Structures are given as C-alpha cells and as structure tokens.
Amino acid sequence: MKCYTVTAGLVAAALGVGFLAGRDQSIAAQGSGRVLEIRTYVTPDHTGLDNLVKRMKDESKIFDRLGMKSALYSVATDAPQSENTFVYILAHESREKAKENWSKFGADPEWQQLRTTAASPGQIKIESIFVSPTDFSPLK
C-alpha cells in the first residue's frame, strides 16, 4: 500500500505537468492511444536503492535508444519509502507498443549485460500501472 501512495502522487504530477500531448478522446477510444507506464521499484534497503539508481542511469539510455520515452525518474522523499523506493514513468504510443517495447528491451544485448551486473537481482519488488489521461485532463 505504501507504494501506491507514492504512485498516486506521481500520477497526479505526471498528468499535471503536461509533458505529453493532450487527447480529446472518450475513455473507450483511449485503449489504443498513448499511455503512461508508472513503475515502482522497492529494494530491500538503501544500498539496493543506491545501486538501482546507478543502474537506471544506464538503463534509461537503453530505453531512449529503443524508443521508450522517459518522462520522469524519481526517488521517494518521505520515510520509510525514501530508504528503498524508486519510481519512473515511461510514455508508450499504446499498450500494444508497450508490450513490443518491453520485449525488445528484454532481448537487448546491452540490457542483458547490464542485468548480470545488477546488485541484488530478483530482490527488487516491481509494480507497474498504465494510465491514460481523461477527456478533462489538463493535458491540452
């Protein structure tokens, strides 16, 4: 539940900042349109968080190369999440494109190498949620 508090705040920030083009589609029409993916990573401790942040600097370059649009990278500010929680937001053209993007990412040789050097692999809890702006979103 702690991660969702951080995630909910970031969703509001992402939609309020207006860094993506707005949409005038109904909710039913949004399923095939641009989406934001909010990913929350919880590490076992602060050292794991530090290692993750270092790795994400390299990982973000792979995202960019593969066309995954980075919108935000952040570390939680409130305790106890500030000790172990990292959140980032990616923009995808659609849910289908997100699946393709993650498939390409998983097969990427640079990622495969980076993954082998990751500290505490498998001990990071990852949650992902996809969101799209409503017709009354400030994204215009």
| Interval 58-113: pLDDT, tens | 999 999 999 899 989 999 999 999 999 999 999 999 999 999 999 999 999 999 98
Q: Looking at the predicted structure, is the pLDDT value of residue 24 above 70? A: no
pLDDT cut 90: percent of the chain above it: 48
Looking at residue 118, its pLDDT comes to 66
Q: Which residues contact 72 (CB under 8 A, 6 or more apart)?
A: 10, 13, 14, 87, 88, 89
- d(Cα 22, Cα 87) in Å, to the nearest integer? 23
Range from 3-7, 68-72, 133-137 that averages highest in pLDDT? 68-72
Structure-token pair, residue 29? 């029409």
Q: Which fold has domain 2-131?
A: Alpha-Beta Plaits (3.30.70)
- The pTM for the full model equals 0.73
24: helix, strand or coil: coil
- Domain spans of the chain, in order of start: 2-131
Nearest to 20 by CA among 133, 102, 96: 133
